[in-house]
Amino acid sequence: RQECVNRSAELLMLEDQDELDFIKETVQKPSSYLWIGLSLHATRKGWTWLNGSRLDQSRFQLSSRNKNSCGAIKGGTIIPESCSSGLQWICQKEATPL
């Protein structure tokens, strides 16, 4: 997360399956695991994006593997992963008008 903040960005927060499909097509290594801005905490019920919104289970199906998991993507799938795993990440930032 800090690497994204250092770039004036934030970890990716997906809106829908179309956006996930776009990322899958754009990433050059679709077999790579990439951190996104999704996590599951013991103090909250369910998966939550960095902005505080809940994961829409009708758009993305994801089960918890343990009480403190983080979200990653591999190809076109969101997967739970241990937050201590050393993975690459994908950031997003607002477009700059030209």
Encoded tokens for 17: 């399956």
Taking 80 as the threshold, does the pLDDT of residue 16 lie above it? yes
**Which residues contact residue 70 at a Cβ distance below 8 angstroms, ignoring those fewer than 6 apart?**
35, 38, 39, 40, 80, 81, 82, 83, 85
Q: Mean pLDDT: which of 2-11, 28-37, 67-76 is highest?
A: 2-11
pLDDT tens track for 25-71: 887 766 678 899 998 866 667 788 999 888 887 777 665 555 668 89
Percentage of residues of the chain with pLDDT beyond 90: 9
Residue predicted with more confidence, 45 or 6: 6
N-to-C CA span, the chain: 27
Identify the DSSP state of 7. Answer: T
* pTM of the predicted model as reported, rounded to 2 decimal places: 0.79
Q: Where are the domains of the chain?
A: 1-92
CATH class of 1-92: alpha beta
Looking up tokens 């998991």, which residue turns up? 69
Residue with tokens 């505080």: 52
